[in-house]
Amino acid sequence: MRRWIWLSVVAALAIAYPLLLSSPFQQRLGALVLLYAIAASAWNIVGGYAGQVSVGHVVFFGCGAYAAMGSYAKFGLSPLIGIPGGIVLAVGLAAIIGVPTLRLSGHYFSMATIAVAETMRLIVTNTEWLGAAVGLSGPTVPRNVFDLSFLSSLPYYYLFLAVLAITLAITWWMTNSRMGFYLRAIKDSERAARSLGAPASRTKLYAFMLSAALTSVAGALYAMMFGFVDPESGLGILISVKILIMAALGGAGLLFGPLVGAAILVPLEEISNSWLGGKGAGLTFVVYGAIIVLIARFQPGGLLSLFIRRGKPKTDTGAGHAP
């Protein structure tokens, strides 16, 4: 019961935020927090729940971003039409990476995701049809509402809020389904889960594909809001870093962890960028690196796990979760 009260308070605050704090900067900030929260929540499915650390998640982000901008720039269609294409692309790539590596130890998976992301960035940077280093642009003047090109951040805010709600709902549904039980068992002990008949590799692969699909939607939304995509903003390794650190800071494997992480880090970055200007770029990532090291060393469960451990009685030891 208390959970539902908290949930409705958070939801009401999220809906009221852009009306209460209505300057363009604040609305834009809110939209960005939600956008990164979508991407980080999508990462959380494979990185948190399945325990497979993808460090090249930007490649799925890029699939969505390029598919959305491509459908406008190459075919004159609404960027929305590109979203399903981006999802198909992302899920296919996830299968190519996941099938061989999810059988091996987690290190191979992490490194393979970096290698694929870098390969895609190099290929796209050298492909004239995809705009090479310049990238692709969206509609500068919207032809109709389906171009999703707005001057104000307000429509984006509510669009992102809806997509985030759907993402979290899917995650919640997944954790309470058979797949969620399998994932928890595998994370506790893959050997034990396998011996009890949990299809470990296949379950991890499904989680990875689901995560890739949702990340690709986040990429498409990002490109629509900014109106363009280039190899750095759509396929650069630093986007992966941001996604990963937000989830890990808030709490990997917790439903609201990525949202908390995004709500802390996005304002931090936007404010430090407006203070330090271009010179802050390097420094921001020094701080990010330090935060990641500190989380790994002292609080691998993320910030939210501090509260949860205190609030709940210790039933969640995982021993009883075998399917």
Partner 1 sequence: MSFVLVQVIVGGLLLGAVYALFSSGLTLVWGMMNIVNFAHGDFVMLGMYVAYVVYTLMGGGPILGAPLATLVLATLGVVVYFALIRDIMKGPMLAQILGTFGLALLLRYSVFWWFGANFLSMPQDIVGGTYAFAGLRIEASRLLAGIVALLVTLGLHLLLTRTSLGSKMLAVAEDQTAAQLMGIRPDTMQAIAWAIAAGATGLAGALIANFFYIVPTVGETLGIVAFVTVSLGGFGSVPGALVAGLLIGVIESLSGYLIGAIYKDIVVYVLFLFFLWFRPQGLMGKM
Chain positions contacting partner 1, by CB under 8 A: 47-48, 51, 53, 55, 96-97, 99-101, 103-104, 106-108, 110-112, 114-116, 118-119, 122-123, 126, 237, 241, 244, 248, 252, 282-286, 288-297, 300
Residue 110 CA to its chain's centroid (Å): 16
Least distance from partner 1 to the Cβ atom of residue 38, Å: 21
Least distance from partner 1 to the Cβ atom of residue 112, Å: 6
Beta bridge partners of 60: none
The token pair at 256 is: 């609201």
Cβ nearer to partner 1, comparing 21 with 123? 123
Cβ nearer to partner 1, comparing 156 with 256? 256
Least distance from partner 1 to the Cβ atom of residue 246, Å: 12
Cβ nearer to partner 1, comparing 30 with 51? 51
Quote the CA–CA distance of 265 and 127 in Å, as a whole number.
Answer: 33
Beta bridge partners of 229: 136
- Measured in degrees and rounded to the nearest 5, phi and psi for residue 224 equal -65, -40
Angle between helices 200-226 and 154-175 (to 10 degrees): 180
CA atoms 306, 292, 171, 203: torsion sign: negative
Cβ nearer to partner 1, comparing 282 with 311? 282
Least distance from partner 1 to the Cβ atom of residue 263, Å: 20
Least distance from partner 1 to the Cβ atom of residue 218, Å: 21
Quote the CA–CA distance of 227 and 222 in Å, as a whole number.
Answer: 8
Helices (H) and strands (E) in the chain, counts: 14, 2
Reported in sequence order, the residue ranges of 122-246 that DSSP labels E, i.e. its strands, are 136-137, 228-229
Cβ nearer to partner 1, comparing 10 with 133? 133
Cβ nearer to partner 1, comparing 40 with 116? 116
Least distance from partner 1 to the Cβ atom of residue 18, Å: 32
